[in-house]
């Protein structure tokens, strides 16, 4: 390697003392009378630069004195290992410093800026080491999931995000002009991943955008989010989907802990735990009874669980089983989509579940109804026009195996894994009812 080749900060510690070139942005400057210190940060970490002030280094000293935080620089110098240096036990004694781009000295956000202000200047907020780690964790997590899927013979698909009709509730649709007509942004890839079942694909997955016209301002909702979906053929019940789902989660969390566990503990104060198999399973009605016994009555007019109920049942599961995950099963057909299969012995219940992680629901899964006559009747019950579902219902008129799957929010998983209180912290660029910029 020549001196002019850039070395990432994370690789400096493994090098012997000698000439190096590093490139990044200025994090802090200590401009003292006899010596100057600059902390340079790049995408992999931070290193201390040192410039003893004398006649030979005065030009560098003048440049350093004018450096603003955030300026991007290229430096060459002598790498030195010194255990007295608090930042990694290494430093670089400067021989040259080039300012690539100067930053405006007054930054628009500070360490104590609120989330909305920081989102206005997200590109600056993302320079924080914690944010860098969030998206490296996301990369590792998605890669681990894909690896598990591929090793288990799943096929990756990419479904369209422009649709002719609703895939879920029509109330949460974004309508867009589409040439001479109208189209809708996909709320999920539900119909299209189901289409892969009569196509004979067997097992499919997708990681892609989804859109919900939901005017919620909670800490866990977004109008555009990354949906993680899988669908499998030849199942006997929702239990088969849950087994697939929990294995996938263990694979992802294991990979994240192995690669980033120490950094997560350092920057977020979280000791990541690899969950044991199987995850606890509790029917929803039983979960509500447990929550009531803990002194909380679920405040929902329908038969669903509310956020405090999720927190309470998660606390119970942690106490009783030492587990961060719980499957809540057997949801009422009244609150589930028309395509969820109902229990043969009790049509008021569905073969479905929600997966709760650290007190928050991250996913819904189910066995799908594959009998076309039953689908039509269940769609009518939900107020849907079967004629508008013609292309979907055709999937089931030419043969389809029993199947099921889940849809999961990527950002919710990250938020809960890193014990963050707001989804906005772990989304690269958040979209909500009042945010379309940056």
Mean pLDDT, range 344-363, rounded to an integer: 98
* Spatial CB neighbours of 397, under 8 Å, sequence gap ≥ 6: 372
Residue 411 annotated in ligand binding: yes
Residue 94's CB: how many other CB atoms inside 10 A? 21
Mean pLDDT of the chain: 96
The C-alpha angle 159, 164, 166, rounded to 5 degrees, equals 85
User: Which ranges constitute the DSSP H helices of 189-237?
Assistant: 190-195
Residue 186 pLDDT > 80: yes
pLDDT at 388: 86
Q: What SS3 class is residue 135?
A: helix
Question: Domain spans of the chain?
Answer: 9-101, 122-426
The C-alpha angle 433, 435, 436, rounded to 5 degrees, equals 115
Residue with tokens 């929702």: 238
Residue 90's CB: how many other CB atoms inside 10 A? 19
Residue with tokens 């999931």: 145
Residue 368 annotated in ligand binding: yes
User: For residue range 129-154, what is the model confidence (pLDDT) as tens digits?
Assistant: 999 999 999 999 999 999 999 999 99
Nearest to residue 332, comparing CAs of 345, 318, 342, 320? 342
User: For residue range 38-74, what is the model confidence (pLDDT) as tens digits?
Assistant: 999 999 999 999 999 999 999 999 999 999 999 999 9
pTM attached to this predicted model: 0.95
Residue 412 annotated in ligand binding: yes
Nearest to residue 263, comparing CAs of 12, 44, 7, 423? 44
Q: CATH fold of 122-426, please? A: BirA Bifunctional Protein; domain 2 (3.30.930)
Residue 113 annotated in ligand binding: no
Q: How far apart are CA 51 and CA 53, in angstroms?
A: 6
Q: CATH fold of 9-101, please? A: OB fold (Dihydrolipoamide Acetyltransferase, E2P) (2.40.50)
pLDDT at 429: 98
Q: Return the HEC string of 236-283.
A: CCHHHHHHHHHHHHHHHHHHHHHHHHHHHHHHHCCCCCCCCCCCCEEE
Mean pLDDT, range 300-319, rounded to an integer: 94
Residue 410 annotated in ligand binding: yes
Report the share of the chain in percent with pLDDT over 70.
98
Asked if domains 9-101 and 122-426 share a fold, the reply is no
Residue 114 annotated in ligand binding: no
Residue 62 annotated in ligand binding: no
Mean pLDDT, range 298-312, rounded to an integer: 91
pLDDT at 165: 77
Residue 179 pLDDT > 70: yes
């Amino acid at each position: 390697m020549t001196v002019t080749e850039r070395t990432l900060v994370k690789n400096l510690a493994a090098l012997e003392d000698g000439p190096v070139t590093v490139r990044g942005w200025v994090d802090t400057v200590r401009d003292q009378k006899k010596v100057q210190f600059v902390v340079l940060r790049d995408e992999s970490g931070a290193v201390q630069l040192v410039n003893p002030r004398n006649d030979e280094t005065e030009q560098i000293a003048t440049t350093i004195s004018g450096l603003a935080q955030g300026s991007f620089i290229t430096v060459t110098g002598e790498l030195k290992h010194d255990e007295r240096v608090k930042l990694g036990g290494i430093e670089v004694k400067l021989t040259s410093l080039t300012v690539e781009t100067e930053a405006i000295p007054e930054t628009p956000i500070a360490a104590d800026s609120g989330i909305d202000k920081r989102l206005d200047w997200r590109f600056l907020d993302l320079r924080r080491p914690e944010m860098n780690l969030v998206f490296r964790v996301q990369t590792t997590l998605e890669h681990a999931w894909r690896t598990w899927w591929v090793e288990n013979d799943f096929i990756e698909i990419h479904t369209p995000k422009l649709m002719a009709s609703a895939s879920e509730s029509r109330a949460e649709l974004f309508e867009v002009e589409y040439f001479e007509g109208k189209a809708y942004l996909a709320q999920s890839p539900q119909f299209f991943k189901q289409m892969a079942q009569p196509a004979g694909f067997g097992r499919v997955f997708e990681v892609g955008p989804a859109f919900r016209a939901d005017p919620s301002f909670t800490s866990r909702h977004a109008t555009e989010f990354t949906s993680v979906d899988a669908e499998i053929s030849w199942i006997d019940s929702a239990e088969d989907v849950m087994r697939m789902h929990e294995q996938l989660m263990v694979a992802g969390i294991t990979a994240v802990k192995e690669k980033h566990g120490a950094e997560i503990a350092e920057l977020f104060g979280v000791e990541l735990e690899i969950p044991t198999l199987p995850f606890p399973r509790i029917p929803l009605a039983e979960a509500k009874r447990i929550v009531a016994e803990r002194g909380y009555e679920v405040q929902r007019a329908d038969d669903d669980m509310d956020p405090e109920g999720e927190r309470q049942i998660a606390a119970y599961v942690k106490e009783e089983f030492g587990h961060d995950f719980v499957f809540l099963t057997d949801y009422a057909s009244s609150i589930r989509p028309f395509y969820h299969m109902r229990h043969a012995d009790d049509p008021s219940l569905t073969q479905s579940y929600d997966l709760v992680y650290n007190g928050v629901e991250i996913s819904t899964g189910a066995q799908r109804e594959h009998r076309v006559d039953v689908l039509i009747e269940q769609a009518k019950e939900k107020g849907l026009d079967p004629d508008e579902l013609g292309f979907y219902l055709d999937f089931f008129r030419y043969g389809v195996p029993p199947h099921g799957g889940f849809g999961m929010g990527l950002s919710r998983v990250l938020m809960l894994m890193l014990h963050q209180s707001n989804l906005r912290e772990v989304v690269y660029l958040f979209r909500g009812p009042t945010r379309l910029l940056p």
